[in-house]
Chain A
Amino acid sequence: MDDIKVNQNPKLGSIDRPNSYIGRSLPRENAKKHLDGGGQFVDDLTLPRMVHVAFLRSPFAHAEIKSIDTKTAKLSDGVIDIFTAKEIDEVCKPWVGVLGHLGEMRSPEQSPLAKKIARWQGEPVAVVIANSRAQAEDALELIEVDWLEKDAQVDMETALDPNAVIIHPELGNNLFWTRTVNQGDVDKAFKEADAVVETTLDFARHTGVTLESRGIVADWNKAENKMTIYHNGQAPHMMQHIIAKHLDLNEGLVRIISRDVGGSFGIKVHVYPDEMAVTAISKKLGRPVKFIADRLESFTTDIHARCHKISGKLGVDKNGKILAMEIDDLSGIGPFSMYPRTSAIETNQVLNLSGAPYVIPNYKAVGTVVFQNKTPMCQYRAVGHPIAVAITEALIDKAAYKIGMDLDKIRKINFIPDNSYPNKSPSGVPLEDLSHQASMDKLLEIMDIKEIDTKKKDDYEKGILSGYGVISMCEVTNPSPLFYGVGGAHISSQDGASIRLEGSGAIHLSSSITEQGQGTEAIMKQIAADQLGVKLESVRVTLGDTDATPYGGGTWASRGAGIGGEAVLKAARKLKDNILNIAAAIMQTDKESLDIEDNNVVRKNGGEGISLQKLAETVYYRGHEIPKGTNPELLATASFLIEGIPFVFTNSAMGCQVSIDQDTGIIKINKFWAVEDCGTQINPKLVEEQIRGGVIQGIGGALFEECVYDDQGNMQNATMADYLVPMAYEMPDIIVDHVTTNSGRSIIGAKGAGEAGTGGAPAVIMNAINNALKQVGAEVISQPITPEKVLKALGKI
């Protein structure tokens, strides 16, 4: 057992006891299958009589479908049938992507296939079912559609203008949702401020680019009235409900199986029209149907994220104390709000999270979300965080520069103090168990700002522009029912775990949390073995199957460890209690005198114990040997949910140092530091990898990634050769450290850790770049910060 990290949660017992696995960086033995080519991804599945589909997708951002002629295409080799909206709508009911708890949202009904009008380039319009994907694609070319191209509303900034193209005439305009937060009196506070700074930032659209694309195999078994769906999603029970609801099936007879998932990051938690069409086709044909998105389909139909323009204003007094903050955010979400989580959440998070680490007595935030003819936009990793953190931290840097204060000092004097929790964010969101002060102190320990500042001055003398930034942020994790359920979505905020001792002495654990590579299975195993007192290798885990796991929400919003992990802990403790009760009866002693170590019930005072295998054999095969009245249950189930607050927040502090090539505009991130406080770390290595992976996705958004559209709504770079993702060469090593403030909401004390990197990196990189550019009076305000934008800022082009 290498790399022991001290477990700082006293509720979990001593790290020195046998089978103490929580807090240790153990390798994911279960994941070795991926190195042997043995993963089971959706596309690896072949079923008897399985057919394949290819979708005819709108080539236009906005067009009327006057007619579709499939006669010739139907005669193409291998074609089984071709469906349009008419046939699919016979078995699948439309949906509406609105929720009830955030004020009025207006989004029209959406069906799997577009009916009279297509509203984004890539919207599915017809579907060919054939014996192979290649044959289905051949037939696509033979379908004749009479299109009438319409003007497209591409630009979100003109979407509410009087002469805008109205995408849904029945709504009267292109407004989806708006929200205003108003705490205190910002106008009065700005008048009293000694310094007021303002900025406006742009965030381009980018997308998840999971290496494994979206995929589904739907298998309708008419004889059993059962629908089995193999899906690379994140929330099996949510999909079970939705497929049953819209296909009018018995929900209990819909089974969702999510085996290995090749990355998701929020992309795969939504309901996609093409996937719903696939389930409808299986229902119609009574055959298994496979759909695997190709990369072009991924770029034009996976949800996009960001697409914000945000203005902000910050007022401080002469000592740097923040008096007021005001933001106004505009976001464009494509032509429909996604189902069932809605496309309002990113803006809602921007309003909730801006200014969140700081005491800001007067806070006003306005969010406006509009429709446009682009790919639908919805929740992707670190929902809203990059925008909220970047606007907050950019304003704070500006204020520091204006009043001549150090970048770390202005933050330190404005933090909500670590000893003042429970507290509230400037927007009024409850916060607890956070450590901005301790985390910034830790960051400044590992990142020597004075040395970096000295180097910056030396660099400048040599003609090199270098700079640095530090930021703090709050991270939304472990959501409660107040996130989605309260608004009417059938998305479980509770998760369950079921654990049993089997006749062989093996432990089987199942959880409603799913695995997409984060290490869910590994940490669940560590918790169960740790709490039960068994060797790690004796626990096997089942995830991702609605027929085989407890009911629950799945993996999204960094909820696996904190919610699902607590359920495992509780279930393991229950099972241990049951085992010790039985053992006490068999051994004729008090339960309190017994414990479990290394798969054996042991007497705390020494003396002969009993192995779990023997105990299980006795209970299962020779139950008559157990004293009468003993509860023989070797199975325990528990669940957990966050109550009373919307989320368990995590906090993070980050720093980075960059240099800029003034001739090419190329930015080099030389060093990056991240300090995360996610409470108990079940497996510190896996936590660090969440931070690193997250930071790299944040760097992608900050410097490279953009879904580029022309003014007709055509995506210009929908290939992996044209859309820039972070590759190894440009990425820095990232130094990760921790502060530990356990969540008081659970025994395990864990909070989430998956969002911070992606949420914070864009802010700290932009601040570092602007710190460098400030030396020559330049500034960048638009992400991705491309070399071209840098050269423009430098006045070189």
Chain B
Amino acid sequence: MAANNTLSISFTVNGEKFNNVNVPSRQHLADFLRSQGFTGTHLGCEQGACGACTIEMDGKAVRSCLVLASQANGSDLKTVEGFDDKMMEQVKQSFLKHNAFQCGFCSPGMLMTTKEILLSKKKLTREEIRSEISGNYCRCTGYQSIVDAIEECINEVN
């Protein structure tokens, strides 16, 4: 049955090598990562609308629910568990200071989007920050504290 087809792929997650791993051909990347214990990647809608599963794939933010695990063959993946560089530690401190999350379910995706904003080196206004994060759903905060945190990060990075 087609549902049981597997493909052998190799990739890295947060620098850790995965060589010749069998993944079900129909499994999306978020489910696969979670099955490997990277449970910091969260699933909110599985159709690319909520942004909770956003991870970094070869330097770009992707919705890991819209990427098949098999498409990650040869890729360098980074999940929230691997956001430990100086810039991201600073971002986390800023999120903590501004209480830019409540339940924490949207945070992995929100941090990835923040990372992409900061790497773009763009000096964004609050309204532009709101536009940039408008693909990440947060039901708890009302977004203002997230905008506050990202605004502070932009000022510090630039």
Contacts and interface: CB of A to CB of B under 8 A. Distances in A.
A1 interface: no
A734 B148 CA distance: 12
Task: Identify the interface centre among A28, A209, A693: most chain B CB within 10 Å of its CB.
Answer: A693
Contacts of A135: 3
- What size tier do the contact residues of chain B reach? 35 or more
Contact of B103 (A44, A212, A294): A212
A693 B140 contact: yes
A517 interface: yes
B69 interface: no
Interface in B84-133: 92, 95-97, 99, 101-108, 111, 126-127, 129-131, 133
A211 B142 contact: no
A731 B41 CA distance: 26
B103 A262 contact: yes
Contact of B142 (A33, A39, A731): A731
Contacts, number: 176
Given A27-B96, A35-B96, A294-B46, A689 B102 contact: yes
A693 B96 contact: no
A261 B103 contact: yes
A693 B46 contact: no
B4 interface: yes
Interface in A376-421: none
Contact of A77 (B4, B130, B143): B4
Contact of B81 (A37, A213, A692): A37
Contacts of A209: 137, 139
A6 interface: no
A728 interface: yes
B79 interface: yes
A187 interface: no
Q: Is the interface of A mostly helix, strand, loop or mixed?
A: loop
Interface stretch (B15-23, B47-55, B56-64): B47-55
Contact of A211 (B3, B130, B139): B139
Interface centre among B92, B101, B137, B143 (most CB of A within 10 A): B143
Nearest to B48: A721
B50 A211 contact: yes
A734 B142 contact: yes
Given A211-B50, A211-B52, A263 B102 contact: yes
A642 B43 CA distance: 39
B80 A729 contact: no
B139 A36 contact: no
Contacts of B129: 728
B8 interface: no
A260 to B, nearest CB: 7
B103 A719 contact: no
Given A28-B99, A517-B104, A725 B147 contact: no
B134 A35 contact: no
A38 interface: yes
Nearest to A757: B142
A689 B49 contact: no
Interface in A33-88: 33-39, 41, 43-44, 77
A733 interface: yes
Contact of B97 (A27, A36, A77, A519): A27
Given A37-B79, A134-B27, A295-B47, A44 B39 contact: yes
A77 B3 contact: yes
A32 interface: yes
A766 to B, nearest CB: 19
B39 A37 contact: yes
A484 interface: no
Nearest to A267: B139
Nearest to A294: B46
A178 interface: no
A134 B101 contact: no
B3 to A, nearest CB: 6
Contact of A28 (B45, B96, B105, B108): B96
Interface string A264-279: 0100000000000000
B103 A134 contact: no
Interface string A722-739: 000111110101100000
B144 interface: yes
A731 B143 contact: yes
A343 to B, nearest CB: 22
B92 A262 contact: no
Nearest to B106: A211
Interface string B64-82: 0000000000000001110
Interface in A482-527: 516-519
A31 to B, nearest CB: 6
Contacts of A516: 102-103
A262 B40 contact: no
A725 B137 contact: yes
A35 B95 contact: yes
Contacts of B137: 209, 211, 720, 725, 727
A655 B140 CA distance: 21
Contacts of B144: 692, 731, 733-734
A755 to B, nearest CB: 14
Interface string A685-699: 110010011111100
A697 B92 CA distance: 25
A693 B102 contact: yes
A29 interface: yes
A720 B139 contact: no
B134 A729 contact: yes
The 8 closest A-B pairs by CB, nearest first: A37-B40, A34-B104, A517-B103, A517-B102, A262-B105, A696-B142, A37-B80, A720-B49
12 contacts: A27-B97, A27-B99, A34-B107, A35-B83, A36-B83, A38-B81, A39-B105, A692-B141, A719-B49, A727-B135, A727-B137, A728-B134
Given A37-B41, A212-B105, 6 more contacts: A28-B96, A35-B95, A134-B27, A295-B46, A517-B140, A729-B131
Interface of A: 27-29, 31-39, 41, 43-44, 77, 134-135, 138, 208-213, 260-263, 265, 294-295, 516-519, 685-686, 689, 692-697, 719-721, 725-729, 731, 733-734, 757
